[in-house]
Chain A
Amino acid sequence: AQTVTQSQPEMSVQEAETVTLSCTYDTSENNYYLFWYKQPPSRQMILVIRQEAYKQQNATENRFSVNFQKAAKSFSLKISDSQLGDTAMYFCAFMKPRGGSNYKLTFGKGTLLTVNP
């Protein structure tokens, strides 16, 4: 079974600064997907960024970028120019594609990020 580990239960950063959230995973698969989701106080899950394992290039979405190290099974999220609205719980997630459409997500325990003014 796949496991996802987020070793930082809580982190804080000053507004406008950069922060990196760590995530490691364990799998024997070669093809898979990795995601970072954000859950603000409203508790709505929001997709921040996705990475396909077959792509060597790190995914970026505006201020959010990942450092995907496939051999090390590491998938960290970097948030640049942090904003107050980035305050949320961040979950790293793994998905192994399987036959049909049953793509299940395995989540890490989450990192609570607080952006301070």
Chain B
Amino acid sequence: GAVVSQHPSRVICKSGTSVKIECRSLDFQATTMFWYRQFPKQSLMLMATSNEGSKATYEQGVEKDKFLINHASLTLSTLTVTSAHPEDSSFYICSASGGPQSSYEQYFGPGTRLTVT
């Protein structure tokens, strides 16, 4: 149990376009979902935390108008990178908590590699 999926696994988009990444909890209802960004050979940096039906809480330095997060249901959160630029190229990982083991443990998706050309 406690499987989290992400779609797409990799995406290439042109500079100036927007791209949406989906994060789904497949077999549990996720009370909270988290979005991380990971640059090559670096650690995970938390971008934002979202609860179903409410606005996301962004970490300091993360532009909320640039990275739009929607948590429309207990099993789906989306991250939209608006007007993407090459510097937005990165590996984006989501996680979800509220699974069968405990309310706090985070279950991670497989990640999405975004390349902006």
Contact = CB atoms under 8 A, between A and B. Distances in A.
Interface of B: 31-32, 34, 38, 42-44, 46, 49, 51, 57, 91, 93, 95, 97-98, 103-106, 108, 110-111
Interface in A58-77: none
Contacts of B31: 101
19 contacts: A43-B38, A43-B91, A43-B110, A46-B108, A50-B105, A95-B104, A97-B104, A101-B32, A101-B97, A101-B104, A102-B49, A102-B57, A103-B103, A104-B46, A104-B49, A105-B106, A107-B44, A109-B42, A110-B42
A44 B108 contact: yes
Contacts of A102: 32, 49, 51, 57
A101 B10 CA distance: 30
Pick the most buried of A47, A50, A105, A109: most chain B CB atoms within 10 A of its CB.
A105
A88 to B, nearest CB: 13
Contacts of A108: 43
Given A43-B91, A107-B43, A110-B43, A101 B110 contact: no
Interface of A: 33, 37, 42-47, 50, 91, 95, 97, 100-105, 107-110
Given A42-B110, A44-B111, A103 B104 contact: yes
Contacts of A44: 108, 110-111
B1 to A, nearest CB: 13
A37 B108 CA distance: 10
Contacts of B51: 100-102
Majority secondary structure of chain A interface residues (helix, strand, loop or mixed): loop
Contacts of A37: 108
A109 B42 CA distance: 6
A21 to B, nearest CB: 14
A1 B64 CA distance: 22
A5 to B, nearest CB: 11
A37 B44 CA distance: 11
Given A44-B110, A91-B43, A104 B34 contact: yes
A43 B108 CA distance: 10
A89 B85 CA distance: 28
